Structure 1
Amino acid sequence: MTSPLLSGPHAVHGAVAGSGPDAAVAAHYGQPVAEQRALAAGTAVVDLSHRGVVTVTGPDRLTWLHVLTSQRLDRLAPGTSTETLFLDVQGRIEFDCHLVDDGATTWLTVEPGEGAALADWLERMRFASRVEVADRTGEVAVLGATADVPGWDGRGDVVRWRDPWPAIGEGGFPYTEDPDPAHHPAADWSWSEYLVPAAELPGLPGALPAGWGLAGVLAAEALRIAALRPRHGVDTDDRTIPHEVDLVRTAVHLAKGCYKGQETIARVHNLGHPPRRLAFLQLDGSGHVLPAPGSDVVVRPETEAEAGTARPVGTLTSAALHHEMGPIALAVLKRATDPQAPLLVREGTAEDGWTLTAAAQETVVSPRAGKAVGRPTGLLRGGPR
Structure 2
Amino acid sequence: MTVLEAFHANHGATFEERGGRRLVRHYGRPERTHQAVRNGVGIIEMAYGVLTITGDDRVEYVDNVVSNRVPGSDGEGCYALLCDPQGRIELDLYIYNAGERLLLFTPPGRAQALAEEWREKVFIQDVGIEVASDDLAVFGVHGPKATEKVASVLNKIGVPDGSLVFDRGTIHDVGVTVIAGDDLTGEDGYEIVCGVDEAETVLDTLVNYGMGAVPFGTRTWETLTLEAGTPLFASELEGRIPNVLGLRNAVDFEKGCFVGQEVISRVENRGEPSKRLVGLRCETVPEAGATVSADGEEVGQVTRAAQSPSLDEPIALALVEYGLESEELAVGNEAVPATVSELPFIEGSGRSARCPID
TM-score, shorter chain, exceeding 0.5: yes
Q: List per-residue Cα deviations over 1:298-355 (Å, max 9, x = no partner).
A: 22x5xxxxxxxx44322211223333223322111121432x3322321xxxxxxx55
The 2-side partners of 1:65 and 1:137 are apart by 19
DSSP-derived class of the 1:313 partner: strand
Structure 2 partner of 1:82: 78
Q: CA deviation at 1:246?
A: 1.4
Q: TM-score, normalised by structure 2?
A: 0.79
Q: Which structure has the highest helix share of the two?
A: 2
Matched-pair contact (CA < 8 Å) for 2:111–2:131: yes
Amino acid at match of 2:153: G
Matched, 1:95 2:91: yes
Matched-pair contact (CA < 8 Å) for 1:39–1:145: no
Amino acid at match of 2:257: C
DSSP-derived class of the 1:259 partner: coil
2:287 to 289, 292, 313: 292
DSSP-derived class of the 1:59 partner: coil
Structure 2 partner of 1:170: none
Matched, 1:133 2:143: no
Amino acid at match of 1:225: L
1:332 to 307, 319, 324: 319
Q: Please give the root-mean-square deviation of Cα atoms over the aligned residues, in Å.
A: 2.9
Structure 2 partner of 1:53: 50
Structure 2 partner of 1:231: 232
Task: Judge which range, 78-87 or 13-22, deviates more.
Answer: 13-22
Q: 1:328 to 1:194 in 2, by over 3 A?
A: farther
Q: List per-residue Cα deviations over 1:217-275 (Å, max 9, x = no partner).
A: 2222222122222111211242x11111111x211111111111111121111134111
Structure 2 partner of 1:261: 260
Q: 1:20 to 1:130 in 2, by over 3 A?
A: closer
The 1-side partners of 2:300 and 2:336 are apart by 14
Q: 1:134 to 1:225 in 2, by over 3 A?
A: same
Structure 2 partner of 1:151: 153
Q: Which structure has the highest strand share of the two?
A: 2
1:207 to 205, 212, 220: 205
Q: 1:29 to 1:69 in 2, by over 3 A?
A: same
Amino acid at match of 1:88: D
Structure 2 partner of 1:191: 189
Q: List per-residue Cα deviations over 1:145-192 (Å, max 9, x = no partner).
A: 2224243552374234433469xxxxxxxxxxxxxxxxxxx9x64333
Which sections of structure 2, spanning at least 5 residues, go unmatched?
155-167, 345-352, 354-358
Q: 1:246 to 1:363 in 2, by over 3 A?
A: same
Structure 2 partner of 1:174: none
Q: List per-residue Cα deviations over 1:37-72 (Å, max 9, x = no partner).
A: 232344210122x32111112222112211111111
Which sections of structure 1, spanning at least 5 residues, go unmatched?
167-185, 302-309, 347-353, 366-382
Matched, 1:342 2:338: no
Amino acid at match of 1:52: G
DSSP-derived class of the 1:96 partner: strand
Q: List per-residue Cα deviations over 1:276-319 (Å, max 9, x = no partner).
A: 111112232xx5xx3332222222x5xxxxxxxx4432221122
Q: 1:119 to 1:263 in 2, by over 3 A?
A: same
Q: CA deviation at 1:24?
A: 3.0
DSSP-derived class of the 2:125 partner: coil
Question: What is the aligned residue count?
Answer: 319
The 1-side partners of 2:317 and 2:20 are apart by 17
Matched, 1:246 2:246: yes
1:12 to 10, 13, 17: 10
Q: TM-score, normalised by structure 1?
A: 0.74
